[in-house]
Amino acid sequence: MTLFVIRHAESVENADKYNGFYQDPRPYSGAAAHAISRTIVGLTPRGFRQAQWLAGVLPELAGPEPHVYTSTYRRAIDTAAIALPALPDGWPQQTALLDEQHYGDATYMTKRELYDSYPALAEDRRLRKHIWTAPGGGESLAAGVLKRAAEFAALVQAKIQESRTVVAFTHQTAAVALRSLLELRALPEILAEERKGKMPNAAILHYEVHNGRFTRTGTTTPPM
Q: What is the pLDDT of residues 133-181, one digit of tens each?
A: 999 999 999 999 999 999 999 999 887 767 789 999 999 999 999 999 9
Return the C-alpha torsion angle 104, 108, 132, 205, nearest 10. Answer: 100
Size of the chain, expressed as the number of residues it contains: 224
pLDDT at position 161: 66
For residue 177, the model assigns a pLDDT of 98
Residue 131 — φ and ψ, nearest 5°?
A: -100, -5
H/E stretch holding 21 reads: none
- Determine the pLDDT at residue 96: 98
CB 201 within 8 A of CB 50: yes
According to the model, what pLDDT value does residue 19 have?
72
Q: What is the arithmetic mean of pLDDT over 108-123?
A: 94
d(CA 71, CA 59): 20
Predicted TM-score (pTM) of the model is 0.96
Highest mean pLDDT among 21-30, 59-68, 92-101, 157-166: 92-101
Averaged pLDDT, 61-88: 96
- 59-87: burial string, b at 16+ Cβ within 10 Å, e else: eebbeeebbbbbbebbbbbbbbebbbeeb
Give the whole-angstrom CA distance, residue 38 versus residue 193: 26
Q: Does 20 score more than 90 pLDDT?
A: no
Mean local confidence (pLDDT), 110-128: 94
Q: Tens digit of pLDDT for each residue in 39-74?
A: 999 999 999 999 999 999 999 999 988 999 999 999
User: What are the chain's domains?
Assistant: 2-27+39-103+139-220 (3.40.50.1240)
Closest of 88, 99, 119 to residue 8, by C-alpha: 99
126 Cβ partners below 8 Å, 6+ apart?
Answer: none
pLDDT confidence of residue 47: 98
Averaged pLDDT of the chain: 94
